[in-house]
Structure 1
Amino acid sequence: MSLPDYQSFMTPLQQCLANGKTVKLKEIEANVYQSLSLSAEQLKLRIPSGKQTYAYHRLGWAKTYLVQAGLIEQPKRAFYKITHKGLTAIQAGEQINNQYLSQYPEFLDFKTRTKDTNDSLDENTTSLVNSNSQKTPEELIEAAVDTLNTNLSDEVLQAVLSASPAFFENLVVDLMLAMGYGGSRKDAGQAT
């Protein structure tokens, strides 16, 4: 069961702020979820860290992008309000997403700052980011970490499998000692 991407949260969030009041995101999140017709099961799904739900995580990223484009503002910590540009966007009746936000120089500046930090990424990571543009930055990071861990596991396994039997015996002894079995290498940690 998949959830809409973070861009799908932008228009409902704008609509929930259309009354012009300054509100906390927590006060209107249920309305955003309702307008997206999210099920109870979808609302329970948590990001891999377990710290928050995917729905709230994606709502937060939608809010960040809208703030960067100037469609909503943050007059004080954790409070948000729609701007004149935001009202105009709603009245235009178009779907608000990254492509729509690209017409605003502030958003392009934000994206340029983000891309500048990505210049140091290697080719594999950059292709991962480009191929999964529907995911939030944290989801991309988690996917990259999973890929790196899988690659590292494969490399370590391959190195162990291609090593000599004597190397493997010493590796097992070192592992047992590192886990606290057998005292020290001198006392008990010897391969026979």
Structure 2
Amino acid sequence: MALPKFFEFFRPFLEAVSDGDIHTPKEVREYIKNKMNLSDEDVSVMLPSGRITYFYDRVGWAKTYLDKAGLVETPSRAKYRITDEGKKALASGEIIDLKYLEKYESFKSFHTANGNSSSNETIEATEEEKSPQEILDDAFNQVNSSLSSQLMDEVMKLSPGQFEKLVVRLLLAMGYGSGIDDAGKVTQLSNDGGIDGIIKEDKLGFDNIYIQAKQWALTQTVGRPEIQKFVGALTGKQAQKGLFITTAKYSADAIEYAGNLLGTKVVLVDGDALMKLMIRHNVGVSTEHTYEVKRIDSDFFEDEL
């Protein structure tokens, strides 16, 4: 049989966790498979990439969309539970599709992160107004936007110490300290003097990058006073290079202050930039598939064959 569309997995997913208990992804997939009367062959059909099945992919997207709407939650890694709003959705008897989810501001904000309006309008626009390349780019951006959101969810579950280790690993993955033994380290939490980590830029340790890592709520703002404290900590180390990295965002005066420092260079990385760097350098993510987009080589045809 033809596999149901991904939004048709929303209600079965909610039903799979409707008892209010915590469930594993395997339990949810098994329930949905039985509920939809899908055969082993149905759930084994692979995406064109050959890396994942349609079934696995659509259950995963259902979880993401329901989570962003606040109908399910992830109390711990790889554990799902229905919320009160999810129970209300089931009890309503309404069709739970994209239009239904868009009545929740949290989902609407997530779903329109790339400037899209409603799902129907988006589909019509891509079919009538955009070239295939633009549609492909939009799809790529939507996948990355969703990935960034899911990645941030996982990062916010880390302990402060784990977050600091993550930041050091990211810098090493970016190439800082390349070829140097013990190039990166996290300072002791109890007595770090305002410095959370250090990256060696040369083998003898003449030049180091000092790190401040703040795992703050996404709605919080890092202000100028926090940057000033960090600069003071750098001065205490007679350091000239600092990286202030946070899951939150920066105030305008914090950005202005960091940009006008004399003698000390402080780079600010906010939550959005952090997610982009993690994705770009494969920290906490892995490549599922690589698509090659090719075009006509005009020079080839203009030259004499």
TM normalised by structure 2 equals 0.42
Query: How many angstroms apart in 2 are the aligned matches of 1:127 and 1:51?
Result: 22
Q: Which amino acid aligns with 1:20?
A: G
With CA pairs under 8 Å and 6+ residues apart, which has the higher RCO, 1 or 2? 1
Query: How many angstroms apart in 2 are the aligned matches of 1:10 and 1:111?
Result: 15
Query: Displacement, 1:97?
Result: 1.1
Query: Displacement, 1:42?
Result: 1.7
Alignment of 1:23-172 (within 5 A): 23-115=23-115, 123-124=130-131, 125-127=133-135, 137=143, 145=291, 148-149=293-294, 152=295, 155-156=296-297, 160-161=300-301, 163-165=303-305
SS at match of 1:74: strand
SS at match of 2:19: coil
Query: How many angstroms apart in 2 are the aligned matches of 1:163 and 1:4?
Result: 50
- Partner deviation per Cα, 1:37-57 (whole Å, 9 max, x = no partner): 223222111123333211011
- Partner deviation per Cα, 1:104-157 (whole Å, 9 max, x = no partner): 1111111132438xxxxxx42444688x9xxx948xxx9xx46x33xx2xx13x
Q: Which amino acid aligns with 2:42?
A: Q
RMSD: 2.9
Query: How many angstroms apart in 1 are the aligned matches of 2:299 and 2:134?
Result: 27
SS at match of 1:81: strand
Q: For residue 216 of structure 2, what is the aligned residue in structure 1?
A: none
Query: How many angstroms apart in 1 are the aligned matches of 2:114 and 2:17?
Result: 27
Query: How many angstroms apart in 1 are the aligned matches of 2:38 and 2:301?
Result: 48
Q: Number of aligned residue pairs: give it.
A: 145
SS at match of 2:112: helix
- Partner deviation per Cα, 1:70-103 (whole Å, 9 max, x = no partner): 0001101110100000000000111211110011
Q: For residue 259 of structure 2, what is the aligned residue in structure 1?
A: none
Q: Kindly indicate which of the two structures has a greater share of residues assigned to helix.
A: 1
Query: How many angstroms apart in 1 are the aligned matches of 2:44 and 2:115?
Result: 32
TM normalised by structure 1 equals 0.65
Q: For residue 238 of structure 2, what is the aligned residue in structure 1?
A: none
Query: How many angstroms apart in 1 are the aligned matches of 2:44 and 2:299?
Result: 41
Query: How many angstroms apart in 2 are the aligned matches of 1:8 and 1:31?
Result: 14
Query: How many angstroms apart in 1 are the aligned matches of 2:67 and 2:61?
Result: 10
Q: Which amino acid aligns with 1:57?
A: D
Q: 1:129 to 1:35 in 2, by over 3 A?
A: farther
* Consecutive aligned runs of 4 or more in structure 1 exceeding 3 Å deviation: 125-130, 158-163
Greater shift in the superposed pair: 28-37 or 5-14: 28-37
Aligned-pair identity (%): 33
